[in-house]
Structure 1
Amino acid sequence: MPLETPATVVSELASRGYNAEREAVTLLSNAPDPETAMERAVEAAPDDALTLTTDHVRAVVDDTSSSGDSAESDLAAERSTTTAQPSQPDPSVSTGTTAGESGNDGGGVPVETKGSGGRSVDEALRDLRIDGDMTGESTGTGEYRDFVAVFRDRYERLARQLRGRVNHRPTDTIENMAPNSDAAIVGMVSDIRSTASGHWLVELEDTNGTFPCLVMKDRAFASQVQELLYDEVIAIEGTLADDGGILFADAIHFPDVPRTYSPSTADRHVQAALISDVHVGSQEFMEDAWHRFTDWLHTEEAETVEYLLLAGDMVEGVGVYPDQDEELSIIDIYDQYEAFSEHLKEVPGDMDIVMIPGNHDAVRLAEPQPAFDEELRDIMSAHDPRIVSNPSTVTIEGVSVLMYHGVSLDEVIAELPDEKASYDEPHRAMYQLLKKRHVAPQYGGHTRLAPEDRDYLVMDEVPDIFHSGHVHKLGYGKYHNVLTINSGCWQAQTDFQKSVNIDPDAGFAPIVDLDTLDLTIRKFV
């Protein structure tokens, strides 16, 4: 195939298992016969080489140019005897490519970043807005009344989403209703238990009290009980018992995303890269894969990727899990952020970057997590990224992206059946959070909750895209037209992960077309 542009050269080299320095790609694409030059460069590469250097390619190009027609005839002979090329990758996963090494090669590029290379973007067309950032707004003191306030706020906001669908009555009113009356309760799940006969007793709590609801095991919706988590807000419709002391359930309603939801899209063709869990400072940080990703961002193929969204765990952190110090390549947390900042400088200087913290980052563990303090912000200031709290909603050219690191996914996966939530398909666990309209509904387990004056974890508005990480597994799909992405990680399997049977999906970069919400998964390993 004709190799008319650097991007096609990069793609062809990647299909043969090679990367190349940026200047080497330029030399190949500008050669009199690019295809011949590339074949010669690959053939002459050292057996253990993964990256074609500029010096190596220059020697091959010079030799190819001087060989003239004899080189063409030699190549024709070679093609008649070579085996078939490797098969193309799965179309759902696109192989990442690289156009060079990560160092700054000058040429007027600002010293703090690698600049934009050959990219041509009009930054005046961009529009980026942040909602729900609670950084600097923390008011909780940890007292009992603060927890009461945040749960009351959760109840009121989610109850409003349900009351239009059921004829809700407060629990104290239902206690005084006539037996056998139809009734509906909107409440927070305070207890779930099975009876001796295998039925389910679900206790709902509102601001006036609690009331028990019985879900018979033979009802078609009974399996929904297995999706319930403590502290989530639901509605149950049914009929009161003869003595009026229990509600026999006829239906369970979740706040949920409307099935008819229609997401917004951008007015022009522009893309966003969604990644998470970089874990700089770990011995298993995949530096080469990161270089391939950032080098690809400088290619013509990536010219429309104008936004980079990072969903937490920029660094490995210190003391996050037992014996972590034995798996660190950088033992000081500030040095880890310095190293991360250097890697971030490899991203084109004209890209807009948004970051939220994760549980390995140097912020409080309780959610919502405020963004990094000023000292860490200064360390990561090269790109002037937008650093906001976890969670936050980022609206990019009209497309809303809910960014949440994802610690609660551990709890959802542990509590729900495998077909509803699993590490192998993390996006299905995220579907459950969309269904509950809350990113961390259950309190008291893996997920720590910070009492604030309001519950920042409620999804008041339906996002167009839901982006998460944390579990180090790649998963994506659509739930009621909401594009849902768990973006994997940039860290190979650690000894700790082996001990808990985590097999990470590393070196992937989901790329979203904001004008269509189409998704491409690029692989850089």
Structure 2
Amino acid sequence: MPLETPARIVRALVSRGYNAEREAVTLIAGSDDPGNTLARVVETVPDDALRITADHVREVLASAPAADPSGTASQSAAASDPSVSGAVSGDSTTHAGQNTPSEAKGSPTGRNTDQSVRSLDIANDMTGQSTGTGEYDDFVKVFRDRYAKLSKMLRGRVNHRPTKALSNMSGGEDAELIGLVDDVRSTKSGHWIIDLEDTTGTFPCLVMKDKGIASYVDDLLLDECIAVEGTLSGDGGILFVDSMHFPDVPRSYRPNTADRHVQAALISDVHVGSQEFMADAWNRFAEWLHTEEAEHIEYLLIAGDMVEGVGIYPNQDEELDVIDIYDQYEVFSEHLKSVPGDIDIVMIPGNHDAVRLAEPQPGFDDELRDIMSVHDAQITSNPSMVTLEGVKILMYHGVSLDEVIAELPSEKASYDEPHKAMYQLLKKRHVAPQFGGHTRLAPEELDYLVMEDVPDIFHTGHVHKLGWGKYHNVLAVNSGCWQAQTDFQKSVNIDPDSGYAPIVDLDTLNMTVRKFS
């Protein structure tokens, strides 16, 4: 195997039970004979070392013998493409608070590194596709696209007539309408009036308080798309609603699964740079990934907030361990190096990351991508649909969960059960329906926040609470965080679930949760 790329050098080191500093990998790749250099580095590394350092590589390069014309050393180091990663010695652990075993140099876990059997595709990445300028026409375009996509999902359930056509109909006729929720208000009698807007205008719809569908009104968010059926009033000026429909995930939905036993770890909200970043828990997690117990984990998905950021909330600087934002990403990258190099990593940004706050959030700029280039991690926008071996995983950081939890009844959405708030987004087929509230939304020509395809797994973070469940056979997972409670969180009564790693079997969509704090 030629070692012309850093990724292959990382895999070769991992197969021998080592991680390596980014600079060390760069030095090996830049040497005259990378294969020979790697072989001599492994041969001379101290017995108790688990990580190859740049200083060690420099020592090897400084003491390099004359080049061997036969290339024997290079051939021995590059004879084959490694297919396994480093393993651990001793007993493995599955429970919180127990010590994870140390990595055993050169003992393979059996993780399958054959890229021909792996499959990773990313859709809906809007990085580099932003067209919005903030002009009025941009907002019109994004809402027209939202309406077009969501109304298409509902047209099979109702015979939609535009609001302009309804205005010309006679009183007492049956009518059906699809529209975005423009306003919801109650009457003096306790009934509900919902103004629905389509591309031709707005029409009022009345939901009587004694109707079974009255409970649906509590679930509504402004700007979401719904369909209603009913009868026009005598003067034709209002629609009396008999039934209400949401885009929703079909109850008959059957999720996709992988053809082999392979796992993905779903995490979020690492918050490197915070004084409360749980480095010890992260290290236990990374060490565990090197064990035989984790040999089937071939993918790591990180749903935003890699770092704590700067200026996110009042007096944040008093809680920072690393002040400079670029230094925070450098430290995060160092922690990422402890993850086995043969695990494919996908990352999206969050509201603490150094990208625009308005959603959809494009992936990081080139400077930050260079800093976070460890293991050739794939960086995409927030949100993005990531398909692993046929399993569709919608990754969304989750800022709109604050909105959903604030607006809906506690039994429908709460911080203690964040997956229930995720159910509401699945029901609405949009990750951030309400415009103008807590969630900043960017006007684009396309609405990248619509769930055009039903995901098999919906993965979020942001709220620092662990929760999971299934909604119409879609697995919804909020993966907690890697940050202990900050003073700011105390002030707003956030008690985080820290140091958890949900592990999903992609062949069955069964999930286990491991705690490392």
**1:67-112: CA deviation from partner (whole Å, max 9, x where unpaired):** xxxxxxxxxxxxxxxxxxxxxx9x9x877762228xxx987xxxxx
- Report if the CA contact (8 A) 1:119-1:299 is conserved: no
How many residue pairs end up in the alignment? 428
1:322 aligns with 2:280: no
Match of 1:125 among 117, 120, 134: 117
Partner SS state of residue 124, structure 1? coil
Cα separation, partners in 2 of 1:120 and 1:230, compared to 1, 3 Å: closer
- Report if the CA contact (8 A) 1:96-1:522 is conserved: no
1:100 aligns with 2:112: no
Partner SS state of residue 365, structure 1? coil
Q: 1: distance between equivalents of 2:99 and 2:477?
A: 22
1:183 aligns with 2:185: no
- Report if the CA contact (8 A) 2:111-2:297 is conserved: no
The amino acid that maps onto 1:479 is: Y
Q: 2: distance between equivalents of 1:96 and 1:407?
A: 33
TM-score (norm 1): 0.79
- Report if the CA contact (8 A) 1:194-1:201 is conserved: yes
The amino acid that maps onto 1:393 is: M
Q: By how many angstroms is 1:221 displaced? A: 1.3
Give the structure 1 partner of residue 373 of structure 2.
381
Q: 2: distance between equivalents of 1:364 and 1:326?
A: 23
- The structure 1 segments of at least 4 consecutive aligned residues displaced by more than 3 Å after TM superposition are 93-97, 116-120
Give the structure 1 partner of residue 352 of structure 2.
360
* Equivalence map 1:41-440=2 (5 Å): 98-100=100-102, 118-121=109-112, 122-440=114-432
The amino acid that maps onto 2:176 is: A
- Report if the CA contact (8 A) 1:96-1:296 is conserved: no
**1:266-291: CA deviation from partner (whole Å, max 9, x where unpaired):** 00000000000000000000111000
- Report if the CA contact (8 A) 1:466-1:482 is conserved: yes
Give the structure 1 partner of residue 78 of structure 2.
none
Partner SS state of residue 313, structure 1? coil
1:512 aligns with 2:494: no
Partner SS state of residue 401, structure 1? strand
TM-score (norm 2): 0.81
The amino acid that maps onto 1:462 is: V
Q: Any gaps of 5 or more consecutive residues in structure 1?
A: 1-21, 24-53, 56-88, 108-115
Q: Any gaps of 5 or more consecutive residues in structure 2?
A: 1-16, 19-47, 50-92
1:473 aligns with 2:475: no
The amino acid that maps onto 1:376 is: L
Q: 1: distance between equivalents of 2:228 and 2:271?
A: 43
Q: 2: distance between equivalents of 1:285 and 1:476?
A: 23
**1:457-508: CA deviation from partner (whole Å, max 9, x where unpaired):** 0000100000000000000000000000000000000000000000000000
The amino acid that maps onto 1:241 is: S
- Report if the CA contact (8 A) 1:400-1:463 is conserved: yes
Cα separation, partners in 2 of 1:307 and 1:181, compared to 1, 3 Å: same
Q: 1: distance between equivalents of 2:99 and 2:292?
A: 11
Q: 2: distance between equivalents of 1:127 and 1:95?
A: 34
Q: By how many angstroms is 1:120 displaced? A: 3.4
Cα separation, partners in 2 of 1:282 and 1:415, compared to 1, 3 Å: same
The amino acid that maps onto 2:138 is: D
Q: 2: distance between equivalents of 1:97 and 1:119?
A: 22
**1:425-469: CA deviation from partner (whole Å, max 9, x where unpaired):** 000000000000000000001111111110000000100000000
Q: 2: distance between equivalents of 1:117 and 1:342?
A: 23
Q: 1: distance between equivalents of 2:465 and 2:358?
A: 23
**1:181-208: CA deviation from partner (whole Å, max 9, x where unpaired):** 1101100000000110111110000000
Q: By how many angstroms is 1:117 displaced? A: 5.6
Q: 2: distance between equivalents of 1:456 and 1:391?
A: 8
Q: 2: distance between equivalents of 1:95 and 1:282?
A: 22
- Report if the CA contact (8 A) 1:204-1:213 is conserved: yes
**1:104-130: CA deviation from partner (whole Å, max 9, x where unpaired):** x987xxxxxxxx963431332100000
The amino acid that maps onto 1:100 is: S
Q: 2: distance between equivalents of 1:117 and 1:320?
A: 43
Give the structure 2 partner of residue 69 of structure 1.
none
Q: 1: distance between equivalents of 2:99 and 2:198?
A: 54
Q: 2: distance between equivalents of 1:251 and 1:495?
A: 47
- Report if the CA contact (8 A) 1:94-1:520 is conserved: no
Q: 2: distance between equivalents of 1:159 and 1:365?
A: 28
Partner SS state of residue 414, structure 1? helix
- Report if the CA contact (8 A) 1:96-1:293 is conserved: no
**Identity score, percent:** 74
- Report if the CA contact (8 A) 1:280-1:315 is conserved: yes
Cα RMSD over matched residues?
1.9
